[in-house]
Amino acid sequence: MPTTLLLSLLSPAPPAGSFEYALHGWGGHLARGRTFFSREHLAHHANPGYFTPTPLKLATAAPFLIALGAAAVWLAGAFAGARLHGEPRRPLDALRARAPPHPHPSAHQRLLAVAAPQPHPPPLPRAA
């Protein structure tokens, strides 16, 4: 089992491998038939030729697919809107550009202002 976890973390898609490992181990086996997914998964292990019917898989996945699709559309719209309106390339930069500056400088900004090199005063005139 540790080898499987290590291989899933080192796979080309670590998040997908880790999710698959967690879903199979925790959702499929540790639930011991208490959830729908666990019952279907254990039925597949008992009979390797058994697969959950496709319409049932689609009905189970639909809420997740709708949520992911909505998030993708929103994110794509934010990027496209920022590019079309000539705003900064990243949507969050566009939000930051609209925010007014803070009225009070931070301690770090005050320290930088004091530590910044000051221009030298003009030389004193020489006595004739």
Residues 58 and 44 in one domain: no
Would 124 be classed as within a structural domain? no
The pLDDT tens digits of the residues spanning 20-70 come to 788 788 888 888 889 888 898 899 889 989 888 999 888 888 998 899 999
Residues 31 and 64 in one domain: no
Indicate the pTM of the whole model: 0.42
Q: What is the pLDDT of residue 67?
A: 93
Would 25 be classed as within a structural domain? yes
Residues 41 and 58 in one domain: no
Residues 47 and 57 in one domain: no
Would 42 be classed as within a structural domain? yes
Q: What is the mean pLDDT of the chain?
A: 75
Q: What is the pLDDT of residue 125?
A: 80
Residue 18: domain span: 10-51
| Nearest-angstrom CA–CA distance, 76 and 73 | 5
List the structure tokens of 5: 């976890």
Would 75 be classed as within a structural domain? yes
Would 5 be classed as within a structural domain? no
Residues 61 and 93 in one domain: yes
